[in-house]
């Protein structure tokens, strides 16, 4: 099973006397995971990817595990004990689909996540509609999952986009326009790191990889995007 583990650091810490305040470097956690993750793997748990959100500035891990207890043991041993960690949020990723992207895709695209608030009786149709988009010139969906992470956040998608304005046009015209979508929240990802080899990636993620749908996404013209909705 896949889970998204969001890790929150205390922004500041005080000395034992409560007088001196020190600002915590958010790179502290990132550097710690990058240095040590190879020693944390077991037959039951493997962190496969690490990301960092721009706002809020926190670090997340995509973790592949055999069961919830194995994941809990991993978090208690390796994440909860990291200095300055204040909180851990585990988001289940059900019906995970990774979409095969074109080999010749641009490598300078920015990464974003979108969490979708949807009416429950429309969830399956929304999931299928988003999955139907084929990679476009400006937008490529990387993965989708049901998360049910709150009453108002049920679906998460990861997207590569030419830029934030392209991403905003896609969300406004192609996601928010789907029947049953209440709202969609866009988050920028500032940093990513794959934590496994290509072979390990194929072994863990490969069974969840599917060909993207065939619904064409028109190129986004930011100067004349009024007609972009017609392509969705």
- Global pTM reads 0.89
CA-based max dimension of the chain: 62
CATH number of the domain at 219, please: 3.30.70.920
Residue 73: what are its φ and ψ, rounded to 5°?
-60, -40
pLDDT band with cut points at 50, 70 and 90 for residue 136: very high
Confidence check: pLDDT of 230 > 70: no
Residue 23 banded pLDDT, cuts 50, 70, 90? confident
Judged against a pLDDT cut of 80, whether residue 89 lies above it is answered with yes
Can you give the pLDDT at residue 4?
A: 97
Does residue 181 contact residue 136 with C-beta atoms inside 8 Å? no
Instruction: Using the Cα atoms of residue 81, residue 1, residue 108 and residue 199 in order, give the sign of their dihedral.
Output: positive
The range of the structural domain enclosing residue 43 comes to 2-231
The C-alpha atoms of residue 31 and residue 58 are separated, in whole angstroms, by 13
Mean pLDDT of 118-147: 96
Residue 16, SS3 per DSSP: coil
How many structural domains are present in the chain? 1
- What ranges in the chain are assigned the alpha helix state H? 27-40, 68-74, 123-131, 164-170, 198-205
């Amino acid at each position: 099973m896949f889970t998204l583990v969001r890790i929150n650091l205390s922004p500041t810490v005080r000395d034992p006397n409560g007088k001196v305040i020190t600002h915590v470097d958010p790179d502290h956690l990132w550097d710690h995971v990058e240095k040590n993750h190879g020693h944390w793997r077991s037959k039951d748990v493997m962190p496969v990817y690490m990301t960092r959100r721009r706002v809020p500035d926190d670090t997340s891990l995509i973790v592949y595990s055999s069961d919830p207890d194995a994941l809990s043991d991993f978090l208690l041993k390796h994440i909860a004990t990291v200095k300055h960690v204040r909180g851990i949020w585990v988001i289940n990723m059900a019906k995970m689909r990774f979409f095969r992207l074109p080999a010749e895709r641009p490598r300078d695209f920015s990464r974003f996540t979108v969490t979708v608030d949807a009416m429950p009786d429309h969830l399956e149709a929304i999931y299928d509609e988003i999955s139907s988009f084929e990679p476009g010139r400006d937008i490529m969906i990387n993965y989708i999952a049901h998360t049910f992470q709150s009453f108002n956040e049920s679906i998460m998608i990861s997207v590569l986009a030419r830029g934030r304005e392209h991403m905003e046009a896609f969300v406004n015209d192609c996601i928010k326009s789907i029947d049953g979508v209440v709202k969609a929240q866009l988050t920028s990802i500032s940093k990513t790191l794959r934590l496994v080899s290509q072979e390990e990636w194929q072994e863990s993620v490969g069974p969840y990889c599917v060909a993207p749908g065939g619904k064409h996404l028109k190129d986004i013209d930011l100067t004349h995007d009024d007609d972009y909705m017609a392509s969705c």
